[in-house]
Structure 1
Amino acid sequence: MDSLVAANAKFCFDFFQEISKDNPRKNIFYCPLSLSAALGMIHLGARNNTAQQICEVLHFNEFSKNESKESDACLKSNKSEVVADSPVEGQEKTKGLLNLQAESSNDESEVLSCCFGKLLSKLDRIRDDYTLSIANRLYEEQEFPICKEYLDNVIQFYHTTVESIDFRKDTEKSRQEINFWVESQSQGKIKELFSKDTLDSATVLVLVNAVYFKAKWERYFDTKNTVDATFCLNEKEKKKVKMMHQRGLFRIGFIEEVQAQVLEMRYTKGKLSMFVLLPHASSDNLEGLDQLESELTYEKLMAWISSENLSEEMVAVSFPQFTLEDSYDLNSILQDMGIVDIFDETKADLTGISSNPNLYLSKIVHKTFLEVDEDGTQAAAASGAVGTTRSMPSELTFMANHPFIFIIIHNKTKSILFCGRVCYP
């Protein structure tokens, strides 16, 4: 599973570079895990060059062959879990399904999907200490019937459903149905995923993914200490924000190569953490942010947040309240990254999804919402050399009053759940 987590993280930072290159001042927030899972669903039914493009962009081609034993165990484990969880009257049918799946267990796409299913099972759950709900759904034009084998696998591995819908005769009703489902899956935080005119009678396949996350800080900020303060983009561009303050023990470190601090702010019980990468303050804080972004990779992030680079210290933390909301039309973004054929009805090979050779992906939209305050975080989304800790006074200061990057990680699996950039809180 480690190589799948690494592949997802590499795609996370490739995606970050792609969406930030045209607007270095734009706030960014997205859920790379959701996007990888959603595209993994498509990959499961893609064939030939269409599948290869997805593999390369999502780094699925780096999925370790050394994990074959783990993958076999994954398939067997999935088999046991599905049979155990099935109603008694449905177990015979389920066993039949699993026997079919076992016959194709050597298929790389299925092995990858199985590991994805295990990863999602570890993450997608409601707990007392946090809520993380990941939901994917495919909506297909009812004239394009889905292959039963694909339907069975995508339900098992990606915990999703495939819905037939009448795009051609009732586009508006279809749009409203999809939007209602997304709003319900995101606890009402994501409304109007598809605006009017984004779908039409020519739409044949829509992929929707929704993520909802809510967690409380392990060390909450007292509202009495929240004050108005200045957030500086540069010497000329500043704005007033609500700045939260607290003093306590935090894991903190310094990255010499990019001149930036790293602070870990844990959520309740420490299963999830927000890691904040804060460049050194300067007359133009975007320059430091640009340098940090240019150096940011999965391997470097893992080194920067490792126990070798972070130490627990008494820290005076100043961190802004902020809300981020954005929508990404993934068609153009993914095409720029190299996933082209699935959007072209003359080139798309999705024959693993439907026997109809004319099937192609009409639309992928990723809409996100994030709210950070004194209690914690509420979020929704619809997809090198390590420096030593800088020698500082006994109480360190972490003042996030200028642009920074934040990454929310599931600590046990090291999976990146959310990634963002704050230029204007």
Structure 2
Amino acid sequence: MKRNLFLFSLWCTMSLSLFQCEGNDEPSPNSSTLSCAQNPDVCKLGEATNQFGFDIFKKLNADKPDDNLFISPLSISSALSMTLNGANGKTKEEMLKVLGAGKISLDELNQSYQTLLKELPNLDPKVKVDIANSIWYRQGFAVNPAFLNTNTTYYNSEVRPLDFSKPDAKDIINKWVSDKTNKLIPSIIDQIQDNSVMFLINAIYFKGTWRRQFDTKKTYDGDFTTEKNVQVPVKMMSYGNSLVKLSYFSNDKLHAVKLPYADSVYSMTVILPKEGFAVKDILPELTLTNWNSWNKAYSAEEIFFALPKFSLRYENSLNASLEALGMPTAFIPSQADFSGIATGQELSISNVKHKAFIEVDEAGTKAAAATSVEIVVTSVPNNPQFIVNRPFIFVISESRTNQAIFIGKMMNPTSDK
């Protein structure tokens, strides 16, 4: 039977169960102190980030609809939210509208991230979630202390001045990313431009074991049929011929299953188009309204279930997608306003780069993501160099009338000795 598999997952392949799951996948008692009842602003942030995640996912998919795609909306939003704290005017308005979906103010955004970044790693002791933020700025570049203080307070950002002119500067930043992602994302910076003054970086690492692990002995050789009707061999994980009770949802176009990790606080949602439909038919259904509605409609069902083992590495510049979503001004050197980062400088975003990796096997899932926001200055404020090491013209004059007394040119300082 033909099977088209579509994997979409929030929070870097994890959907945070702030809404209770049904059946046997309900989170263990007291496994989490984070809830919408106790933290309504955090849930407002969750809705805003989900909306942003769906939107940018669709934009990226439109560019290459036949390719695999994997992103972390949380990572992208975190890095951009740090940057947002340095924006003013139209730049700030556009970024806040895109990131907050008109649902949350900047103060609420910051305070909610402070709570979220503190709580997410502690929700399930059996699932490892590490989230780290950092700001790297060119040594000697005058950064507004208030900007750095906001990001250290609310985003727990590490702040490090760095000599960008040294050849190993990018290696130092990349090592930080590699360390924070347990080497799943080895690098995020390819080069440091002469006018680069700052990199704002988020890194996320996730490792979770399935609540119901697959038996490797029941993994079999199967076929995966692409939407071009090409069969490719895969290792298909299964629970054998037995029925298994999972949280299940179905409508006229799709059906979906939640695969919980450990205590079920985190889960992977697998959405499969029904026969006669394709991924392109399902993507328009991925809206915040539908996502919230679906999460309330899952029920425990006994089903036969199989999922291919897979790994996926993805990277892309997000500039075009972010501009299309409604924040173009941040990328225009003559119009961007990041005066909150540094006064007296014309700053803009040069590149928003995103990398993500996921590996799924019988035991569980390893995933990581990193996002880098590169800030550049339109005119580099470095002191000019004037080294007379090639032919030159010279004039000896007096200053009262600007009378030139001698004029000469030097083509070779050694020829007339």
Shorter-chain TM-score range: 0.7 to 0.9
Deviation (angstroms), 1:61? 2.8
Partner of 1:271: 265
Distance in 2 between residues matched to 1:341 and 1:146, nearest whole Å: 21
| Equivalent pair of 1:206/1:362 in contact (CA under 8 Å) | no
Q: Deviations over 1:184-232 (max 9, x none)?
A: 000011113223xx43212122222211000000000000000110000
In the alignment, structure 1 residue 61 sits paired with structure 2 residue 102 = yes
What residue number does 1:38 align with? 79
Query: Aligned equivalents of 1:303 and 1:109: distance in 2?
Result: 27
1:177 to 149, 172, 175: 172
Confirm or deny that 1:244 pairs with 2:232.
Answer: no
1:168-247 equivalence runs, <5 A? 169-170=165-166, 172-195=167-190, 198-234=191-227, 236-246=229-239, 247=243
* 1:151 alignment counterpart: 148
TM-fit CA distance, 1:165: 2.0
Q: TM-score, normalised by structure 2?
A: 0.75
Percent of residue pairs identical: 31
| CA contact 2:124–2:263 (8 Å) conserved in 1 | no
Cα deviation for residue 127 of structure 1 reads 5.2
How much is the aligned-residue C-alpha RMSD, in angstroms?
Answer: 1.7
Going from structure 1 to structure 2, the CA distance change for 1:358 and 1:14 (only over 3 Å counts) comes to: same
Residue 60 of structure 1 and its aligned partner are, at CA, apart by 4.7
Per-residue deviation, 1:34: 1.3
Between 1:315-324 and 1:142-151, the stretch displaced more is 142-151
2: distance between equivalents of 1:363 and 1:138? 15
Alpha-carbon distance in 2 for matches of 1:128, 1:61: 34
Kindly indicate whether the alpha-carbon contact (under 8 Å) linking 1:331 and 1:363 is maintained by their aligned counterparts in 2.
yes
Deviation (angstroms), 1:327: 0.8
Once residues 343 and 249 of structure 1 are traced to their aligned partners in structure 2, the CA distance between those partners, rounded to angstroms, is: 49
Q: 1:313 aligns with which of 276, 301, 315?
A: 301
Q: Does the CA contact (< 8 Å) of 1:44 and 1:110 recur in 2? A: no
Report the Cα distance in structure 2 between the residues aligned to 1:338 and 1:381, rounded to whole angstroms. 24
The aligned residue for residue 135 of structure 2 is 138
Q: Does 1:15 align with 2:47?
A: no
1:4 aligned to which of 38, 45, 55: 45
Bigger radius of gyration among the two = 2
- How far apart are residue 323 of structure 1 and its match? 0.3
* Aligned position for 1:352: 340
What code does the residue aligned with 2:323 have? Q
Whether contact under 8 Å (2:123, 2:265) holds in the other structure is: no
TM-score by length of 1: 0.73
What SS class does the counterpart of residue 193 from structure 1 fall into? coil
User: Distance between the aligned counterparts of 2:76 and 2:227, measured in 1?
Assistant: 33
- Aligned positions, number: 327
User: How far apart are 1:125 and its partner, in Å?
Assistant: 4.4
Q: How does 1:297-312 map to 2 (within 5 A)?
A: 297-306=287-296, 309-312=297-300
Other-structure match for 2:163: 166
Cα distance 1:363–1:163, how it changes in 2: closer, same or farther (>3 A)?
farther
- 1:289 partnered with 2:289: no
Contact 1:228/1:240 (8 A) holds in 2: yes
2:236 matches 1:255: no
Asked if structure 2 preserves the Cα contact closer than 8 Å seen for 1:136 and 1:161, the reply is: yes
Residue among 110, 119, 132 paired with 1:113: 110
User: How far 1:126 moved relative to its partner?
Assistant: 8.4
- Report deviation, 1:281: 3.0
Q: Distance in 2 between matches of 1:178 and 1:363?
A: 16
Q: Equivalents in 1 of 2:254, 2:158: separation in Å? A: 43
Q: Secondary structure at the match of 1:236?
A: coil
Q: Which residue is equivalent to 1:409?
A: none
Could you say which residue in structure 2 is the equivalent of 1:366? 354
The match for 1:29 among 70, 93, 102 is 70
Structure 2, unaligned runs of 5 or more: 1-40, 372-417
Say which structure is richer in helix.
1
Superposition deviation, residue 235 in structure 1: 6.4
The residue identity in structure 2 corresponding to 1:145 is A
* Counterpart code for 1:176: D
| C-alpha distance in 2 between matches for 1:157 and 1:266 | 30
